[in-house]
Amino acid sequence: MNSSTRDTPVRQGHFQPRRLAHANLFVGDYQRAATYYHDVFGFEEVYSQPDNKASFISNGNTYHDFALVDVGSRYARAGQLPGLNHLAFEVESEAALVASYHAAIAAGVEYRSTEDHDVAHSLYQKDPDGNEIELYADVVEDWRAERNGVFSKKKPKWVPGETNVPQTRHLYPQNPPIRLIEQALVHCRRVTHVAFVAQDFATMYDFYTSVVGLTPLSGGREEAYVLLAGTHSQGDLVLYRNDVVSALPMHHVGVEVWSEADLDAALEKIESTGATVVGHYDTPARRVVFVKDPDGLPIQLYVNRDWRPETIAAIDPAIRPFVV
């Protein structure tokens, strides 16, 4: 990997997360969205929280790939529209999360809250553009035993390093079986990345490399874009400069599908389900069908082909925001 495709971070990041784990989205109607994401995208609802007006869906990659939160939820602002609520990065262990939290606090980093989610302990903060991010560690080995069906429970307070002795075990899902919803139109495997149009590109780059601890895989601080990755991924976050046109700060959520046959199905029939096909992009690096769901949320359905820095860099800049 040469210097033109991989920059050195400003300094080593505090957390070095493994990967992006989920995207938490505001939707117009959480029950309707859960049905749609099951029937069309092939995600299984693993639990719901009617008191929060939220559905949590996953095929086994993690305890949820998407959270679908109603715009009428108590977590929504007045007049909330569909869009990103937050994105979440998975850290190796609770002990690593807590140690990194204290190092970040000592360096002047601020957090909005710390939360106990039963299956995970989490930190929340805003990035420089105001997008909310979560850094979390799994604290149970079998999340399905803890989170299933209709779920409602008051969350206990969690103070990092004080409420309990942080676990050192790696409790994140390791080689989990990915379920397939046979009857779905498109068979999605997992959420893999989120792309932002950055209002302050350099500051966002510095935050995600020096605070969060992601590493550039393609593009860079002085380029038109950067693809950033955790320690166990092929890209978790993409930043584009603000000359990229996007109706939302979140340009898209990237979702890997099982095969190119799923992309063919999306091209042929997904518009009949209420979605909109924005474009079809066929490149040596990745094939993409870019759609907007019935709430107008941009979803990049893709299959990787030759996903290396060299082939990523060779993608036509005019279509790169839809492909990377």
Amino acid sitting at position 214 = L
> H helices within 189-286, ranges in order?
201-206, 260-269
Q: Within the chain, how many helices (H) and strands (E) appear?
A: 7, 17
Kindly report the average pLDDT of the chain as a whole number.
94
How distant, in Å, are the alpha carbons of 57, 103, 119, 275, 287 from that of 278?
24, 43, 37, 9, 14
Give the global pTM.
0.94
- Is the pLDDT score of 267 beyond 70? yes
pLDDT grade for 14, boundaries at 50, 70 and 90: confident
Please, is 115 exposed, middle or buried when counting C-beta atoms within 10 Å of its C-beta (0-12, 13-18, 19+)? middle
Please, is 317 exposed, middle or buried when counting C-beta atoms within 10 Å of its C-beta (0-12, 13-18, 19+)? exposed
Q: Which residues pair with 228 in a beta bridge?
A: 216, 237
What tens digit of pLDDT does each residue of 78-116 get? 999 999 999 999 999 999 999 999 999 999 999 999 999
Three-state DSSP at 156 gives coil
pLDDT grade for 12, boundaries at 50, 70 and 90: low
Shortest CA distance to 237 belongs to which of 211, 258, 216? 216
Report yes or no: 254 and 290 within 8 Å, Cβ to Cβ.
no
Q: Which domains are seen in the chain, by residue range?
A: 19-143 (3.10.180.10), 188-323 (3.10.180.10)
- Is the pLDDT score of 3 beyond 70? no
- Is the pLDDT score of 6 beyond 70? no
> H helices within the chain, ranges in order?
30-39, 94-106, 143-146, 201-206, 260-269, 309-313, 320-323
What is the spatial distance between Cα 65 and Cα 55, in angstroms, rounded to a whole number? Answer: 11
What tens digit of pLDDT does each residue of 176-234 get? 999 999 999 999 999 999 999 999 999 999 999 999 999 999 999 999 999 999 999 99
